[in-house]
Amino acid sequence: MPVANIQVSETPLVLYALRRADDALILGHRLSEWCGHAPMLEEDMALSNIALDLLGQARELYTYAAKAEGKDNDEDKLAYLRDVRQYRNLLLVEQPNGGFAQTLVRQFFYSAFADLYWRAMMASRDTTLAAIAAKSEKESAYHLRHASEWIIRLGDGTDESRARAQAAIDHLWAFTGEMFAVDEGECALIHADIAIDPGSLRGRWLTTLSGVVSEATLELPQTDWMQQGGRTGRHSEHLGHLLSELQSMQRTFPGQTW
């Protein structure tokens, strides 16, 4: 008997924490799919390491979302008992691993943003978010370095790796716009200095990308069309499959302690 989905009272602050928690969990989950299957043992280690950092961020953010909501939810209920339409992550992070190039390009796009984002969030007036930011910023800086080095190696490696890296960039580019979008609720948090305006990071994010991509002899697409929807629960088809795996135990054996 599958257990019903929980209901979450998505106040602006709850929703804000939930969105970032979902980003971290879903991307961490994707990276964890590599464990035991990476191109070299060093990357099994590195991708697992990054996944663990993201999982840690997700747990702190879920716990904070649950606390801000003030009901009987907790990190596990938030992760395991919401359906695809209740998930609030970016479309970018739910995209399948594809090959190594696609995984690393996805990571590069996200980490280049996360690095700037968490650094800026250290100044949040919300002390919990500021503390999570301080820890996440250090982790993101490493994630970005790792991804950037790989983009350069793949781009400036062989013809094959260059083609694969460029194809991944072209494929994932349309999912990057969502990182910089805000809705009304977030605007209020930005005005209250609890959140930062992600739009203000876009210029620096592009500078980071351009630097690495040009050293890698690759190119950023010229298209402006961006996919949206993750933040309001309109996901790609991929997320449902990910969740059915992630949540299978909690759905099969409802209400038990593990």
Partner 1 sequence: MYTQALSTTETDDRGLEDAAKAAQFQARIDAEERIEPNDWMPAAYRKTLTRQISQHAHSEIVGMLPEGNWITRAPSLRRKAALLAKVQDECGHGLYLYAAAETLGTSREELVDAMLAGKAKYSSIFNYPTLTWADIGIIGWLVDGAAIMNQIPLCRCSYGPYARAMIRVCKEESFHQRQGYEIVLTLCRGSDEQQAMAQEALNRWWWPVLMMFGPPDATSQHSDTSTKWKIKRFSNDELRQKFVDATVPQAQYLGLTIPDPGMIQDADGHWPYSEIDWTEFKQVLAGNGPCNRDRLAARGKAHDEGAWVREAAAAYAAKRARRQTAQAAE
Applying CB under 8 A, which residues contact partner 1? Answer: 25, 29, 32-33, 35-45, 48-49, 51-52, 55-56, 58-59, 62, 75-76, 79-80, 99-100, 152-154, 156-158, 160-161, 164, 245-246, 248-250, 253, 256-258
Picking from 114, 101, 24, the residue whose alpha carbon sits closest to that of residue 65 is: 24
Q: Based on CB atoms, which residue is closest to partner 1, 76 or 170?
A: 76
Q: Which residues, in sequence order, are CB contacts of 29 under 8 Å at separation 6+?
A: 51, 242, 246
Cα dihedral value 3, 74, 80, 96, nearest 10: 160
Residue 186 CB, nearest distance to partner 1 (Å)?
Answer: 25
Residue 147 CB, nearest distance to partner 1 (Å)?
Answer: 14
Residue 150 CB, nearest distance to partner 1 (Å)?
Answer: 9
Residue 79 CB, nearest distance to partner 1 (Å)?
Answer: 6
Q: Based on CB atoms, which residue is closest to partner 1, 196 or 216?
A: 216
Burial class (CB in 10 A: 0-12, 13-18, 19+), 101: buried
Q: Based on CB atoms, which residue is closest to partner 1, 157 or 233?
A: 157
User: Looking at residue 253, what DSSP letter applies?
Assistant: S
Q: Based on CB atoms, which residue is closest to partner 1, 51 or 68?
A: 51
What span, in angstroms and rounded, lies between the C-alpha atoms of 115 and 183? Answer: 22
Q: Based on CB atoms, which residue is closest to partner 1, 104 or 189?
A: 104
Residue 5 CB, nearest distance to partner 1 (Å)?
Answer: 17
What span, in angstroms and rounded, lies between the C-alpha atoms of 215 and 148? Answer: 10
Residue 59 CB, nearest distance to partner 1 (Å)?
Answer: 5
Cα dihedral value 164, 180, 15, 64, nearest 10: 80
Q: Based on CB atoms, which residue is closest to partner 1, 68 or 189?
A: 68
Picking from 80, 88, 76, 118, the residue whose alpha carbon sits closest to that of residue 21 is: 88
What span, in angstroms and rounded, lies between the C-alpha atoms of 61 and 128? Answer: 9
The helix/strand/coil state of 51 is: helix
